[in-house]
Chain A
Amino acid sequence: MTVNQISIFLENKYGTLSEILMLLAEANIRIIAATVADTSEYGILRIIVNDPQRAYALLKEHNVSANLSDVLAIVTHSEAAGFARTLQAFTKAGLTIEYMYCFSAGEKSILIIRTNNREAAREVIRRQNMDYLCENDLLKFN
């Protein structure tokens, strides 16, 4: 139901992002999805990779401020309608979406979601019988 996501603290400085991406690329880590959220002072780069443990260890080793966490990864089929239905299900359950981003894998769209209540969100997914990805599914992206 969840996959590992790595969040990286980025200073709004020229070249910071590309340095980090290079680091991962050189270690042959595949970035499956990435999104950057920022304020005027700093940003957070959130990435889903094929080997999160190795990527996280590598970042630590290079003294990068990073955080490893779990996020929900829900599979939807037709983008707009699928997204809407999924979000609606969470909202109806009284959950707030803290952030979301998506990527596509073949026919499917994968929606990455962080809500304000992890357990309640899991419950919604189970009840609504939503399709989702697990950590192991990421290995298929190799």
Chain B
Amino acid sequence: MNQEYWQEELETMKRPDLERLQTERLKATVQQALKSPFYQEVFKQNGLTADDIQTLDDLRKIPFTTKDDLRAHYPFGLVAIPLRECVRIHSSSGTTGNPTVVLHSAKDLDQWANQVARCMYMVGLRDTDVFQNTSGYGMFTGGLGFQYGAERLGALTVPAAAGNTKRQIKFICDFGTTCLHIIPSYATRLAEVMYEEGIDPHRDTKLHTVCIGAEPHSEEQRKRIEKLLGVKAYNCFGMSEMNGPGVAFECKEQNGLHIWEDYVIPEIIDPVTLEPVPDGEVGELVLTTINREAMPLLRYRTRDLTCFLPGDCPCGRTHRRLARFKGRSDDMIILKGVNIFPTQVEKILMHFKELGSNYLITIETVGYNDEMMIEVELSDLFTDDFSTLQRLEKEVTRQLKDELLLTPRVKLVAKGSLPAPEGGKAVRVKDLRKIC
């Protein structure tokens, strides 16, 4: 039997029924959250009680929770069950100060595995697949999150973890890996190394699907990954505060990520005014967990920028779709009053077959001006002629200017001269501005 859905009833639930389910779970979640010292204090300070939250609209009475709140109440201030009932802790990779940690009960982990399995099933993975996870393991949620999800699905799971490209390729070939979870910049790197080693992924591997996420990327980059590896690439979205992977995922339509609304309540707000934006407009995603007991989060500001896609999805799932992520509200570069996302730059660079996939945006103060320099690697030296290189530079600059509405300085650099991503996220922006 070839079923379409992992949990048909939940995935295709009529909107009014889904909203009833959300309301019920929201009320239970508020009750649960109030067992944590943090939310007790928040509700008290705002003159709220659990009884004030009766409908989905009432959610807006509750103040936002931020990453700073999690840091300030590190490590256990938001935990709503006794610690002996918690079975796992995950944390974000904080570079400064306290990391943000999330605790899980056994039931939370069970739900999470189910959620990830649902996503993987949606893109066509079955228990006959061989799933290789190139995510870092350890405290990072992309490792164990996908591991448990893939096992729940019944796939043969290869916890290859991050890095060591040659070993990854060996596993893919030897184990007959059919699906990878991989960050997009590493996917192109992996493909390049395969070709360098004389391995044609189309011919020599069984790969048919990759799940890509963790860093914003453009449609062009997806297409490139699909072509290089001979796969379908699906976007996934997750964050450690929301467990990890499995929050939202593309279906086979590859047009927006279904956000699982039996799992979280999504809102999209203007990051400056904090008011909800009209449907279809880009804003910051705010999420409320409604299916978690150890550490419920109410109206958590994700910093991720996206918008709801209008209309129904042909796949039959009723959970709304989020547009491709536009970056993070704190990765956004504001230059000369213009908002710029690295994904915009990437989209343009991908048009040029002469250019590689590695680039670096540097913002620096020159005199009294802030300027943008974009270094991009040549895919190879395709010409022996300066004027051709200069024409390429000019054309890249012109197209970037049309997209960004300001003129960056484009600099072609030799292949391999920018730091290559290897498992970790690629560094795309260096902001050297002097803040006066």
Q: A-side interface residues toward B, CB under 8 Å?
A: 5, 7-11, 16, 37, 39, 41-42, 44, 46, 63-67, 69, 98, 114
Q: Chain A contacts of B417 at CB under 8 A?
A: 11
Residues of A within 8 A of B335 (CB): none
Neighbouring A residues of B382 by C-beta, 8 Å: 67
Q: Which of A8, A37, A65 contacts B386, CB < 8 Å?
A: A37
Question: Which residues in A have their C-beta under 8 angstroms from that of B414?
Answer: 9-11, 16, 64-65
Q: Which residues of A contact B383 (CB under 8 A)?
A: 67
List, in ascending order, chain B residues with CB within 8 A of A39's CB. Answer: 386, 390
B280 at the interface (CB under 8 A from A): no
In the bound complex, residues from chain A placing their C-beta under 8 Å from that of B415 are 9, 63-65
Report the separation of the CA atoms of residues A46 and B415 in the bound assembly, to the nearest whole angstrom: 17
Are A9 and B386 within 8 A (Cβ)? no
Q: Residue B51 at the A interface, CB < 8 A?
A: no
Instruction: Let me know if B386 and A63 touch, CB within 8 A.
Output: no
Which of the listed residues A11, A65, A98 has the most CB atoms from chain B within 10 Å of its own CB?
A65
Convert B348-383 into 0s and 1s, putting 1 for each residue whose CB lies closer than 8 angstroms to a CB of A. 000000000000000000000000000000101111
Q: Does A114 contact B384, Cβ atoms closer than 8 Å? A: yes
Q: A42-B412, A63-B416, A64-B414 are in contact. Are A9 and B381 (CB under 8 A)?
A: yes
Known: A9-B414, A10-B414, A41-B411. A65 touches B384 (CB 8 A): no
Give which listed residue, A11, A46, A67, A69, contacts B413 with CB less than 8 A.
A11
| Closest A residue to B390 using CB positions | A39
Q: Could you tell me the dominant secondary structure of chain B's interface residues? A: loop
CA distance A69 to B388 in the complex (A): 15
Pairwise interchain contact A67-B384, C-beta atoms closer than 8 A: yes
Give the nearest-CB partner of A69 in chain B.
Answer: B384
Contact across chains for B381 and A65 when beta carbons are under 8 A apart = yes
Q: Is B174's CB within 8 Å of the partner chain A?
A: no
Contact between chains at A7 and B384 (CB < 8 Å): yes
Q: Is the CB of B381 within 8 A of A7?
A: yes
Q: Complex: how many Å from CA A7 to CA B382?
A: 10
Interface residues of B (CB under 8 A from A): 378, 380-386, 389-390, 411-417
Given that A37-B386, A41-B411, A44-B386 are contacting pairs, would A67 and B381 also be in contact in the complex, using a CB cutoff of 8 Å? yes
A114 to B387 CA separation, bound complex (whole angstroms): 14
Residues of A within 8 A of B386 (CB): 37, 39, 44
Q: State the Cβ distance, B81 to closest chain A Cβ, in Å.
A: 52
A-B contact pairs, 5 of them (CB 8 A): A5-B384, A8-B381, A16-B414, A67-B380, A67-B383
Interface centre among A8, A9, A63, A69 (most CB of B within 10 A): A9
A33 to B: closest C-beta gap in Å: 15
Complex contact B378–A9 (CB within 8 A):
yes
CA distance A98 to B415 in the complex (A): 25
In the assembled complex, the Cα of A69 lies from the Cα of B380 at a distance in Å of 14
CA–CA, A44 to B389, complex, Å?
Answer: 10
Closest to B375 in A: A11
Which single residue of chain A is at the shortest CB-CB distance from B409?
Answer: A41
Chain B residues within an 8 Å CB radius of A46: 384
Cβ–Cβ < 8 Å partners of A9 in chain B: 378, 381, 412, 414-415
Bound CA span A64–B378, Å: 10
Not counting A42-B389, A63-B415, A65-B378, a sample of 13 additional A-B residue pairs whose C-beta atoms are within 8 angstroms of each other reads A7-B381, A9-B378, A9-B412, A9-B415, A37-B386, A41-B412, A44-B386, A63-B416, A64-B414, A66-B381, A67-B383, A98-B385, A114-B384
**Whole-angstrom CA separation of A39 from B388 in the bound complex:** 13
Closest CB in chain B relative to A23 CB, distance in Å = 13
How far, in whole Å, are A64 and B390 apart by their CA atoms in the complex?
20
Cα distance A16–B415 in the bound complex, in angstroms? 13
Complex Cα distance, B129 from A9, in Å, reads 43
Give the Cβ gap from B379 to chain A, nearest Cβ, in Å. 8
Q: Smallest Cβ distance from A112 to chain B, in angstroms?
A: 12
Which residues of the other chain, B, contact A63 by a CB distance below 8 angstroms? 415-416
CA distance A114 to B415 in the complex (A): 25
Of the candidates B380, B384, B386, B412, the one having the most CB atoms from chain A within 10 angstroms of its own CB is B384
Taking CB atoms, residues of chain B closer than 8 Å to A41 are 411-412
* A69 / chain B contacts, CB cutoff of 8 Å: 384
The distance from the CB of A97 to the nearest CB of chain B, in whole angstroms, is: 13
Residues of B near A67 (CB, < 8 A) are 380-384
What is the CB-to-nearest-CB distance from A96 to chain B, in angstroms, rounded to a whole number? 11
How far does the Cβ of B364 sit from chain A's closest Cβ, in whole Å? 16
Q: Which residue of A lies closest to B416 (CB)?
A: A63
Please give the distance in Å from A16's CB to the nearest CB on chain B. 8
* Beta-carbon nearest neighbor of A67 in chain B: B381
Cα-based distance from A44 to B414 in the complex (angstroms):
11
Residues in A with CB closer than 8 Å to B389 are: 42, 44
CA distance A7 to B380 in the complex (A): 11
CA distance A42 to B382 in the complex (A): 15
In the complex, the 4 A-B pairs of residues with the closest C-beta atoms, listed nearest first: A67-B381, A7-B384, A65-B381, A63-B416
